[in-house]
Chain A
């Protein structure tokens, strides 16, 4: 399923949940696991400087610093290494999002795994800090491979993985997300939910639609799901189509709760936006922030 998995980590406790899934996923699919950490900023002199996270002061780092950081990473993940085996460690100075994307392209990574935040923020504070502009957002937006975003600890999701939810807005990028969701469901042999939320608020420019209109839209969405996605699944019949009305991210969270979904797969932008221009759409942003299960953001078909 995945030959190479890149776990991009800050090595902070905020990445612990993602680390567990990264190690388990790599063991389950016999993938090469690369733990990748980016720190500091390269200097013009060919060396690099590091910025103290607490004081904000810059300091020059010597050539031994990378080895020091690798040792720290090994210490951080020693329990997981003992259980699942030693991964490859890569440490680099630079701008995190740029270096992660560069490394993923160069190494032909099949899946990037990240935590949603670098810090374990309070949920109250999260509304202001959000995830826009974070490394995770930049990577999810530009990566050529699926990006699995883990925000909560989940002990067994990928070992007893049996329900994948594919949320679609029928955009071009959603087709890439579908291909990934279907490939996973097919290879694991688990159930695939094809889910679409009919956004009533935006469908009629402020005018509340009548019941007949809603029913027509639901029928049209069902036909489209069958035409665009079910038609590609050939003999695979372990799927279910669900169309709910309401605010997409709310409905998706409700649906995931009701079905006890293990993984939500979505494209990460709103409709009809070029993947290069796409920002992390509000639906994905809201889902990533709140979802109890991992969220896979898929934007391109390149590495599927």
Chain B
């Protein structure tokens, strides 16, 4: 499968060369990310390739927050890094048996995955972002999750991160309240 590389500065390269075609043509390409790729890099990429903004209506307001805070260098000490991964979940009960497939963005601290929705986006921007393995949850058993190597497309990354960060419109005062 064709692969593209996401650089730390947000630039997309293919076979070592800067992308010259429309970014829409590589949405289905698998991605590999710079080891130093951060959430900042993600928003720099979306800014450089404006077509990506149209993937989700939530990206524009997220970019507004990013543009006000990029380069601030501040990151929460409650997290070490960010992890983007896929999950396949088979459910037998309650309800009808079903199979769900979704992506998640979590914070990582001491090898534990933490929910991000209580963090402010401003505090996540400088954290490194990496791609994780596919998690296979069978019949609700979250203790013994199977993990497999997998791949991610550019579309999955952009749309998945937009969805996850759409839960982060927390007023800045909220952390004080808690």
User: Which A residues contact B (CB, under 8 angstroms)?
Assistant: 51, 53-56, 122-125, 127-129, 152-157, 246-247, 250, 253-254, 256-261, 289-293
Q: Could you list 11 further interchain pairs (A-B, Cβ under 8 angstroms) beyond the known A123-B167, A125-B102, A250-B60?
A: A53-B94, A56-B94, A124-B102, A124-B163, A127-B102, A154-B174, A154-B177, A155-B177, A256-B171, A290-B166, A292-B170
User: Can you list the 8 inter-chain pairs with the closest CB atoms, starting with the nearest?
Assistant: A56-B93, A260-B171, A124-B104, A124-B102, A253-B169, A292-B170, A257-B169, A247-B57
The complex places the Cα of A130 from the Cα of B146 at a distance, in Å, of: 25
The complex places the Cα of A256 from the Cα of B166 at a distance, in Å, of: 13
Q: Is the CB of A254 within 8 A of B169?
A: yes
* 29 A-B pairs in the complex with CB atoms less than 8 angstroms apart: A51-B94, A53-B94, A56-B92, A122-B87, A122-B115, A123-B104, A123-B117, A123-B163, A123-B167, A124-B102, A124-B104, A124-B105, A125-B87, A128-B102, A153-B178, A155-B177, A156-B177, A247-B57, A250-B57, A250-B61, A253-B166, A257-B169, A257-B172, A260-B173, A261-B171, A289-B167, A290-B166, A292-B169, A293-B171
Q: Is the CB of A123 within 8 A of B170?
A: no
A residues near B169, Cβ cutoff 8 Å: 253-254, 256-257, 290-292
Q: Is the CB of A123 within 8 A of B115?
A: yes
The complex places the Cα of A293 from the Cα of B177 at a distance, in Å, of: 12
The complex places the Cα of A292 from the Cα of B171 at a distance, in Å, of: 8
Q: Which residue of A lies closest to B61 (CB)?
A: A254
User: Which B residues contact A (CB, under 8 angstroms)?
Assistant: 57-58, 60-61, 87, 89, 92-94, 100, 102-105, 115, 117-118, 140, 160, 163-164, 166-167, 169-174, 177-178
The complex places the Cα of A260 from the Cα of B176 at a distance, in Å, of: 12
Q: Which residue of A lies closest to B118 (CB)?
A: A152
B interface, by DSSP: helix, strand, loop or mixed? loop
Q: Is the CB of A122 within 8 A of B178?
A: no
The complex places the Cα of A253 from the Cα of B65 at a distance, in Å, of: 13
Q: Is the CB of A155 within 8 A of B61?
A: no
Q: Is the CB of A123 within 8 A of B164?
A: yes
Shortest A120–chain B CB gap in Å is 9
Shortest B133–chain A CB gap in Å is 15
Shortest B59–chain A CB gap in Å is 10
Q: Is the CB of A124 within 8 A of B87?
A: yes
The complex places the Cα of A51 from the Cα of B93 at a distance, in Å, of: 11
A residues near B163, Cβ cutoff 8 Å: 123-124, 127
Q: Which of A53, A124, A257, A291 has the most CB of B within 10 A?
A: A124
B residues near A292, Cβ cutoff 8 Å: 169-171, 174
B residues near A289, Cβ cutoff 8 Å: 167
The complex places the Cα of A103 from the Cα of B65 at a distance, in Å, of: 45
B residues near A125, Cβ cutoff 8 Å: 87, 89, 100, 102
